[in-house]
Structure 1
Amino acid sequence: CENVMTCPIRPIGSGNEHCPYDWLAVYDGRDEHSPLIGKFCGLGKFPFSIIGTSQYMYVEFVTSPAGPLLNTGFHFNVGNWPGHVETAGIKHGVCDWLLSSDSLKDSSASEGIFLSIAHWYPPNTSCSYHIKGHPGEIVRLYFPSFRINRIESPILKYEGDCGESLTIYDSDHADPARIIKTFCDTFSRPMEKVDFVSTSPSLYVQFDSKTGSYSGSSLYYWAHYDFFNNTRFGDPVPNTLCDEVMYAWKHPGGRLRSPLNSLIFKRTGGSDVRCQYKFVTDRRLYARAIIEVNSVSFKELPYNSNACTRCHEERVDKLVIWEERDKFQNNLACFCDNIPRAVRVISSADQMNLEMIVQGQHAITSYFKNPNPLFEATYEFAHGPLCGPITLGPSPDGELVFPYKKALAMVAGPMAPPEHHYRREKCIWELKVASQRDLWLNLEKARFAERSCESAKIEVYLAGRLEPRFVVCPENISLARDLPILTTAELGATGADQEPLPVLIQYTGDGQPGKNIFRLVWTELFHLPRNPDGSLSASLLQDGGCDFRCPGDTQVCIPRHLLCNGVANCPNVTHTSTLAQLTRHIEWNLEQLGLLHEANEYRQLVLHDESPEICLRRDLSELPYAKLALITLGLCAMFALLIAILRRMCQGAPKQSGLQHLQEDY
Structure 2
Amino acid sequence: MVAVGAMSVVLRGLCFSVVLFAGCPYAYSQLPWTPIYVGQSQVDLWTRSATGCPCNFNTSSNDCACCVPSGGCSCGEALPSRCAQCGLDQHCTNMCNITLDGKQLFSKSGRGFGQIKSPYLEGPTKCTYKFIPDVGQRVELQIYRLLSIGRHNGTACEGGWLELEGGARVCGRNERFDRPVVLFSDKSVAILHMQINENTTRSQFLAYFSFASNASSSVGLPARGGKPVSNEVCDWEYDEKSCRKGCILTSPGYPGLYPPNTRCRYRITSSPRVTVNLNFTSVLLSHNHCTSDYIAVYEGRETTSSLLKMLCGNDRTNVVHVGSQLLVEFRSGPEVPPFNYNGFVATLSFVEITTEAPTTVTMESTSKTLEMIRSPSRSSHNGRYNHRDLHDHRKDQGSASCDLVVSGNEIRSGHHDTRGKLKSTVCRLNLRGRAYDTVHVSITSYNLSPVACKSMVEIFDGNLEARMIGSAKSLKRICSPAERLPRALVPVSKYIEPERYSSTGRDMTVILQRSSDSPADEEYMDVSYYFHDEREEGTQQPASVCDVEYYGLSSPPEGTVIHPEPHKLLTSQGPVKCRQHFIPAANQSINITVESSTKQASSNSCYTKCGDSGCQCVTKNRLDELDHLLLVSETGYVVSCFCGNYQEWLPVGVRSWTPVYIEWSRFSNAGLNFKAAYKFSEDPYCGDHTTKKPEGEVTGGNLASGEIKLNQYYQQKCTWILDSSMDRQLTIEVKSSQSRPCAAWNLTIHEYSKNGDPAGPKLYTFCSRDQHKNFTLDWKMNTAVVRLQALSRTPPQYTMKWRSDFVTANTRKSGPSPAPNHVTGSSSNIHDRHNHRYCAFSLTIPWWILMTFLRL
TM-score range relative to shorter protein: 0.3 to 0.5
In the superposition, the TM-score normalised over structure 2's length comes to 0.29
Q: Is the strand fraction higher in 1 or 2? A: 2
In the superposition, the TM-score normalised over structure 1's length comes to 0.36
User: Whose RCO is larger (CA < 8 A, sep 6+)?
Assistant: 1
Q: Which has the higher Rg, Structure 1 or Structure 2?
A: 1
Q: Is the helix fraction higher in 1 or 2? A: 1
